[in-house]
Structure 1
């Protein structure tokens, strides 16, 4: 099998409007298509990162919590590449987002940091 790339990442949120605002207004992802699926009482919002469709944001009634701390099995976090981590951190903080201290990856010597989405899912910024 030959895998070409990651096609998309799906995120289920507990508060659709709050998460939609976070991913579009705070992170700047671009909405591409939004649908309401009446039979599932669920919204689905397709979002683009830098012009490429990559993230699906879903709402479902009463989704169960997924533990993040301590780290649980499964998807650990979502990571975005940035050109300048300090500028990205400043922009997030100016929008009221709490960001961890910038650290250096001991293997690549690249800068990275974490913050959380409205449901507490870790999001990483990794400097190019």
Structure 2
């Protein structure tokens, strides 16, 4: 088997309108498709990054909270590459998003930082 790339990452949100705004208006992801699934009382929003990788944003009635503590098992965070970390941080902070202090990767020397989506999902910006 040979994997080619990541096709998508799926995220379940607690407030569909708030998360849709966050990922589209604030982060600038392009809407590929938006569907309401009445049998599940759920929206499925397909979003795309410029390289084609997609994020599936789901809403469900009353989704349970995910255990969130440092170094818990499972997906740790989702990282986006950016050309200018300073510009991306300024954009987020201007929108009222709290961004952690910029750090430097000890192995690559690249700069990165973390912030959270509306449900507390850790997101990383990694400067290329």
Q: Does 1:22 align with 2:34?
A: no
**In structure 1, C-alpha distance between the alignment counterparts of 2:123 and 2:68, rounded to whole Å:** 11
Return the offset for 1:32. Answer: 1.0
Q: Equivalent residue of 1:52, what SS?
A: coil
Q: Is the CA contact (8 Å cut-off) linking 1:46 and 1:53 kept in structure 2?
A: no
**In structure 1, C-alpha distance between the alignment counterparts of 2:121 and 2:4, rounded to whole Å:** 26
What stretches of structure 2 of length at least 5 have no aligned partner?
none
In structure 2, what is the equivalent of residue 10 of structure 1? 10
- The superposition leaves residues 59-93 of structure 1 with CA deviations (integer Å, 9 ceiling, x where unpaired) of 01111111222332111111000011011100110
In structure 1, what is the equivalent of residue 91 of structure 2? 91
What stretches of structure 1 of length at least 5 have no aligned partner?
none
Q: Equivalent residue of 2:76, what SS?
A: coil
**In structure 1, C-alpha distance between the alignment counterparts of 2:68 and 2:113, rounded to whole Å:** 16
Question: TM-score, normalized by length of structure 2?
Answer: 0.96
In structure 1, what is the equivalent of residue 61 of structure 2? 61
- The superposition leaves residues 17-68 of structure 1 with CA deviations (integer Å, 9 ceiling, x where unpaired) of 1100100011011111000000000000000111624110000111111122
When the two chains are superposed, the root-mean-square deviation of aligned CA atoms in Å is 1.0
Q: What is the count of residue pairs matched by the alignment?
A: 128
